[in-house]
Structures are given as C-alpha cells and as structure tokens.
Amino acid sequence: MRELDGILYKKMLINGLAMLANDENRINALNVFPVPDGDTGTNMRMTLESGINHMVDDTSLKNAASTLARGMLLGARGNSGVILSQLFKGQFIYFKDKEKVDVIGFAEALEQSYKTAYDAVIHPAEGTILTVAREGIHHILSKITKELTFEEFFELLIEQMEKALANTPNLLKVLKDANVIDSGGAGLVLIYKGMQKYLRNEIIARQDQEIIKASNPIAANSVFDEDSDFEYGYCTEFLLQLQNKKLNKNEFDINEFIKYLETKGNSIVAFKDGTIVKVHVHTFTPGDVLNEAQKYGEFISLKIENMQLEHNETVSKTKNICAIAVVDGKGIAEEFKKFGCDVIIDANDNFNTSTEEFIMAIKANPARDYIIFPNNKNIIMAAKQAKEVLNNDNIHIIETKSVIECYFGLQMTALDDEELTIDDHIENIMEGIEGVDTLLITRAIRKSVVDGININGGDYIAILNGKIIKSSLNRDELILEALDTIDMDEKAIISIFNGNNISADEANSLASHIRDKYEFIETGVIDGKQMIYDFIIGIN
C-alpha cells in the first residue's frame, strides 16, 4: 500500500480502536498510583471512539481527519484523552489540504502530530505518551523513502515506538518506582498496532460493542407563544439518499445545491458522500429547502428546530454567574449546591469528564460568566479545551485538584451576591483555597512501589496533596499518622467526607480520635457518599 485516503484512514483507526478497547483493562492497570481512579485506557478508548463516531466515510483525507479531530476534541476525557486528541489534531493540521498522502506525507503528519501535542501541554514531561509519539517517528525519518510501503513504514514505526515505551521508566522516576511503563504510551502503541494489523488484513473484533455517544436534548417550553417575534428561523438538518429513479446520481452537483441553499438561508454545511448528502442550514423556509432536496432523493433522517424558541429560552434563563463542579458523591454534591454551585457533573466514579460534557453544561445553562471547578488534575485540560472550543473569555477555570479545594473555595464567596464582580468572586475563592491540604484515604488495588513506599494489595494508602505518603492495614492509625505530617499550628478546620462504604459510626469514631488529638481544631463529618475514597479530608 503506497497511498492513504480517508476511507483507509478510518478503517485503520477502527481497527486501532478495537485493539485498544480489547486491552483496556491492562492499560488501566499500568497507572502509577494503585488506586481505582486512574483509567488511562478507558479515557483513551472513549476519546478515540468519540472521534470515529463523528468521522465521515469520505475518500478525502482532509474531510475524514477533520471530523475525526473534531469528535476527539469534544469527547476528550482525562489528560491522556486530551493529549490523544491533540495528537490527532496535529495530523489533521497536516492533512487539511490533502486528499491523500504517501508514506513521506504520513510521516510528516506524525511529526506535526507530536509537535501539536507538546504545544498543548503546559509542562510536557518526558517518559510519557508524548515521548512515545515523538521518538516513534523522529528516529526513523532517515529511513523513509518514496519506495517504502505503508506496511514497511508501520513496521519501522512500531518497532521504534515500543523501544521508546520500554524506556519510559528510565525517563520518569515514578514509573521506575512503580515498575510500570507509561500507560498513555502503551495505549498509543496499541492504536498504531491495530492500524498496522488492518494493513495486513487482520481485522480485530471488538469484545465490547457498546458505543458511547453524548446526547444533548433540547427542552422545549412555553417561552414561544402567539405574541412572540420570529427573528431566527429554523435550524434544518437532514441526510438525503439520492435516488436513481429521480435522477442519475452522477448528475447531482453539490455545488449547485449549495448555491440554492444560499438563497434560502445561512450557516450552511453541505457535502456529498457517495450517494448520501448531508445538509445543515438556518432558514425561515425549511419547506422550500426540503421540497428542493426531495427532487433528488428521499430523507434518511430529518430534524427541524425553532431557533427562536432556543433563543428565548436562553434569554429567559440567563443568570450572572454559573458555577460548574465535577463531583463524585451525592453528599458532596448536596454540600456544593448549598454554597451556590449550579451544575454538578457526575465524575463517573473515575473522574474522566470529557470536553463535550463541559460544553454541554455551559450551553444548557446560559450565564454572563462561568466558573468551572474540575476538582481533579486529570480533568483540568478537558475544561481548558472546552473554553478553547467555545472561544469564550467569560469562562473562568479554577484549577482545583480536589473537591476539598472547591469546598473551601465556595465557602469564601456568595455567588448570588450581584454587587460582587466576577473578579471579586474569583479572588475570594482563591483565598479560600490557599493553604488547604487534601488527604485521601483508599485501598490499594495491587502491589506497588511509589516514591520508595512499598504498598501491598489491600493496604490502606494515604495520599496527601496528590502524593502517596504512607500505607497501612490500620486505617484510623494511618489517618492520624498522615495528619501528623501537616503543620497544624495555623489550621482551624478539619472537614471529613466519608465514602459510600463507610458507616456513620465509623466516620464519627474517626472524628472523635482526631478531636482528641487536635482539641483546638474544629472537626466535622459530612456524609459525602463518594465511591473511590473511604475518606476525603480537608485541613484548612
């Protein structure tokens, strides 16, 4: 194979997705921390899946790559998913004016791929998926010639990527201590191996068939009535199957049809893929558009929405500030609502919120300004990507790495106080977060060594401000020992969120032990009902 077009690109990626999905659990298990919230394989699979779900069947490589990149951008979950989406965005940047490429062109696309991803990461670290992507192509460039087939190219590429992957522990100490290779890099290698296998006619069967797609239903209401003005027209979308009995399919001219659409509306997206025509147009006369389209075929799907209703609904609901937080735990969510948090995004037990979920939350809640609390370091990039997609400077991301930071930050401001500016609110929130310590208690799911700490499967582990500091079989003793490592002289509050599997008696007993030791600090218990951590403890 010496040329790559859009159809082949998609088929190869579907094979790559299948290979990743089938080995998803192994990739998840490679995470450095032996806790059940690091699902790199799941995040990468769902991100690529979203891209392929959006991808058109088109021989044009630029069209296929464009829709893939857009879908991955929206579906990106976790840091690994966001970086993966940036890698394929880089490929699209190279493909954007190309119908097909040879091996040299594909190699240049992979160069652009890793450069785009590196640029997207504020502090790129070596020994990660970025390294595997870069070294995979960088070290074989001198071997690439026009005579090389894609089969031969992928042999060279994967051999080098696997060498780079095997070396990741030598570049990143946390990997070496945990005796694992980088999980994101391992996922990337699987994707490219699946692509290679397609070229060898080895089709990978998915062991799971569930395709997850985000939905965005529009809730109709009575904000459009008999006295309403109609200024915005209808959003009209359809898929049209061209019919031989109505015309010779080769005689249909998409460019002429677009010229017709321009006389009837705007915001036009229209393209022909084989005998299928996809159309999006904003028009006051959808009937005219549909009648014209039906001259050439019949509709596969059809959607018409009153944009005036959407506009009126938006105006009627607009508020000054909308606070959005990612939360695991119904009890924690209720606490956040008390402090004025408008939107709670379910963290899905493993904190892999996607860019699209942030976008949907923003679009569904019209406001002048938005404050987003990711509450996990792996979600910050997805939140930032949502802001970039929407191109809205009124989206303000507070880079909270735990629900504790969000909890204390929200307490420091009154979001419904209209006399405060958005800058006032952010300043108050940041003041509340400053100096906060977060202690997480969970059980190890496997044996590991992290930062010199030997951890056995089933041990309780204490994670202080993102770093594992101790492990033990005795949970309460572990917590007290972990608290001992914190300078308590200027601390005033200890807030304990107990998990879904922790009884009220257990939580109150722990609180009693803490009060006995730190009599001068106010200690309280909140039934957080979180799934991952037995206890989430905030010290402020």
Two tokens, residue 481: 């020992």
CA distance 522 to 501: 24
CATH number of residue 506's parent domain:
3.30.1180
**CB-based contact 451:172 (threshold 8 Å):** no
DSSP H stretches of helix in 411-503: 422-433, 475-484
Q: Could you identify the residue written with the tokens 């147009």?
A: 281
| 500 and 483, same domain (yes or no) | yes
Give burial (CB, 10 Å; 0-12/13-18/19+) of 251: exposed
Q: Could you identify the residue written with the tokens 């998803």?
A: 24
Two tokens, residue 519: 């009599």
Task: Provide Rg for the chain, Cα atoms.
Answer: 26
| 420 and 532, same domain (yes or no) | no
Number of domains, the chain: 4
| 161 and 15, same domain (yes or no) | yes
**CB-based contact 224:307 (threshold 8 Å):** no
| 156 and 46, same domain (yes or no) | yes
CA distance 470 to 99: 56
Distances from the Cα of 287 to the Cα of 232, 233, 256, 299, angstroms: 16, 12, 19, 13
Cα maximum dimension of the chain: 86
| 181 and 55, same domain (yes or no) | yes
Give burial (CB, 10 Å; 0-12/13-18/19+) of 88: buried
| 40 and 150, same domain (yes or no) | yes
| 53 and 153, same domain (yes or no) | yes
Q: Could you identify the residue written with the tokens 């010639």?
A: 145
What is the residue range of 406's domain? 318-433
Predicted local confidence at residue 445, as pLDDT: 83
Distance of CA 336 to the CA centre of its chain: 23
Q: Could you identify the residue written with the tokens 């989430």?
A: 536
3-state secondary structure of 205: coil
Predicted local confidence at residue 189, as pLDDT: 96
**pTM for the complete prediction?**
0.63
For 115-125, b/e burial (b = at least 16 CB within 10 A) is bbbbebbeeee
Tell me if 412 is assigned to some domain.
Answer: yes
Two tokens, residue 172: 């990143």
| 21 and 129, same domain (yes or no) | yes
Q: Which residues contact 259 (CB under 8 A, 6 or more apart)?
A: none
| 185 and 71, same domain (yes or no) | yes
CA distance 523 to 123: 37
Tell me if 229 is assigned to some domain.
Answer: no
Tell me if 342 is assigned to some domain.
Answer: yes
The DSSP code for 245 is T
Packing angle, helices 129-138 and 183-199, rounded to 10: 40
Tell me if 213 is assigned to some domain.
Answer: no
**Closest of 419, 330, 426 to residue 373, by C-alpha:** 426
**CB-hemisphere CA count at 13 Å for 453?**
20
Sign of CA dihedral 8, 10, 14, 20: positive
Sign of CA dihedral 465, 467, 469, 475: positive
Two tokens, residue 58: 């088109």
First-to-last alpha carbon distance for the chain, in angstroms, is: 62
Q: What is the DSSP string of 287-341?
A: HHHHHHHTTTEEEEEEEEEEHHHHHHHHHHH-EEEEEEEEES-HHHHHHHHHTT-
Last residue of a domain, one of 433, 463, 494: 433
Measured in degrees and rounded to the nearest 5, phi and psi for residue 372 equal -110, 130
Predicted local confidence at residue 531, as pLDDT: 87
Query: Per this entry, what is the length of the chain?
Result: 540
**Closest of 113, 61, 60 to residue 85, by C-alpha:** 113
**CB-based contact 442:530 (threshold 8 Å):** no
**Closest of 70, 95, 73 to residue 84, by C-alpha:** 73
Tell me if 208 is assigned to some domain.
Answer: no
CA distance 30 to 174: 12
CATH number of residue 394's parent domain:
3.40.50.510
Distances from the Cα of 126 to the Cα of 137, 177, 186, 516, angstroms: 15, 16, 14, 46
**CB-based contact 58:8 (threshold 8 Å):** no
Task: Name residues of the chain where pLDDT drops below 70.
Answer: 32-38, 122, 208-226, 228, 248-250, 267, 269, 271, 273, 308-318, 348-350
CATH number of residue 91's parent domain:
1.25.40.340
| 27 and 131, same domain (yes or no) | yes
Last residue of a domain, one of 179, 199, 219: 199
CA distance 482 to 470: 7
Tell me if 207 is assigned to some domain.
Answer: no
